[in-house]
Amino acid sequence: MVFADLFFIYFFMPLCLLIYFVAHSIPARNVVLLVFSLIFYAWGEPVWVVMLIAYSFLNFMTGKVIGRAKTQKTKKCALALAIGVDIGVLALFKYSGFLVENVNALLHVSIPVPDIKLPIGISFYTFQTLSYSIDCYWGKVKVQKHFHKFLLYVSMFPQLIAGPIVRYSTIAEEIDNRHTNLRDISEGFSRIILGIGKKVIIANSLNTVVTSVFGTAENGYSGVGTVSVLAAWGGAAMVALWYYFDFSGYSDIAIGLGRIFGFHFDENFRYPFICKSITEFWQRWHISLGTFFRDYLLYVPIFGKRRKYGGLFLVWFCTGLWHGASWNFVIWGLYYGLFVFIEMKLGKKRYKNWNPVFAHIYTKLVIILGFGIFYFEDFGALGKFFKALVGANGNAFSSVVTRKIYLANIFLIIAAVLLVTPIIPKIKELAARSAGKYYLVRSAGVLLNAGILIISSLLLLNTTNNPFLYFRF
């Protein structure tokens, strides 16, 4: 089941909320939320819900062992088991085919490549269970004594499929003690509608522009070999915007739903495109993933010692690989890691002296090129993309066809560029200062939300399958 679906918006979510708020006690509401979460995950693929429950039970039990252990050795063994199973299962489903393909290519053998279907959301809930086990070992969180509460944490449907990666420490207290007021409900619904609008109105439309310019993986990225120089750079910029609106839209829906249920998830995006450095970009983009690797991987001893730069490149290698079993993702991760490394060597003081205009141009060019790398999973197409950027494919600097594509979508592009800046919060801030116009501002907000929801619903009428991009990660 997906959020950007009429069934979810007008049946599943209202039914869940109705039963949830009819149940007055927190234990009863936890049961309601758990049941609906398991139904949500099992929708269409019920076999994977069994694995989710078993996965959760193993991590729950290893957490209890860590909490009760009297010796450090026992704790380490329990943690090693949890990490080994979590990483092992993720590697089996997500990377086994990739590994065999590379072994075949390197050794010139023909080992059958396993075709294992990836359970939806496994990359996200694996990192949640990992963070719980490690935090229990470090003594940062209290061990959860009740399995149904731990299962609720792992399977909670607002963030189960595509994040944000919610740590147990963030919601541990709210599992047993939380409340929802009218402001929570109002702001929660506004956030949900904003997320749906980002996905359905903007991200899906940007997807159409990108595929018109570059083509898709299914058709071999048919457009990349002939696309003009301007269209290649513009197409990569559209990829960056597309991924932002798609993924941040999902995060908005997840955070909004959590708010209505009384949970306060951390922000996952903070207007990343206003950054003045690549380091700042990654402090604003997919924050839950970046902080996970920072806290659990950056300072891992390499060959017996903590190595500052070795840990840095290990983080960025894993960041790339986490996104998919393809070398372009690894290159993408190391590419960003290289710029973070350069900025570290320059130092904060020296970097602050850069001209702000130059800093913005530098970061946007790096980001645009980075998302071009991200989009092309085929190395042949990626090579053509790099050549297209400088006209090395024999392609023209500009072309009539691509100009028509961009001109036909000019209002979409302008809206997308404006909305990646904090323009809406600024408008709200200015409106909040006009105390005498409070009700006018509130009414305008309600009308805007209604308009976004109506337009999104009309667009979804002709859509049978509308998954978010990060479902496949």
- Distance in angstroms (rounded) separating the CA atoms of residues 397 and 63: 59
Distance CA 295, CA 299 (A): 8
Helix (H, G, I), strand (E, B) or coil at 116: coil
Q: What is the DSSP letter of 144?
A: P
The region, left, alpha or beta by phi > 0 then psi within -120 to 50, assigned to residue 215 is left
Q: 302 in helix, strand or coil?
A: strand
Are 238 and 210 in contact by the 8 Å Cβ rule? The answer is yes
Label residue 178 exposed, middle or buried (CB < 10 Å: 0-12, 13-18, 19+): middle
Phi/psi of residue 142, nearest 5 degrees: -80, 140
448 Cβ contact partners less than 8 Å away, ≥ 6 residues apart: none
For 428, phi then psi, to 5°, come to -65, -40
User: How far is residue 14 from each of residues 11, 27, 178, 255, measured CA to CA in Å?
Assistant: 6, 20, 20, 17
Terminal-to-terminal C-alpha distance of the chain = 16
Rg (CA), the chain: 23
Q: How many CB atoms lie within 10 A of CB 108?
A: 7
Residues marked active site are found at 323
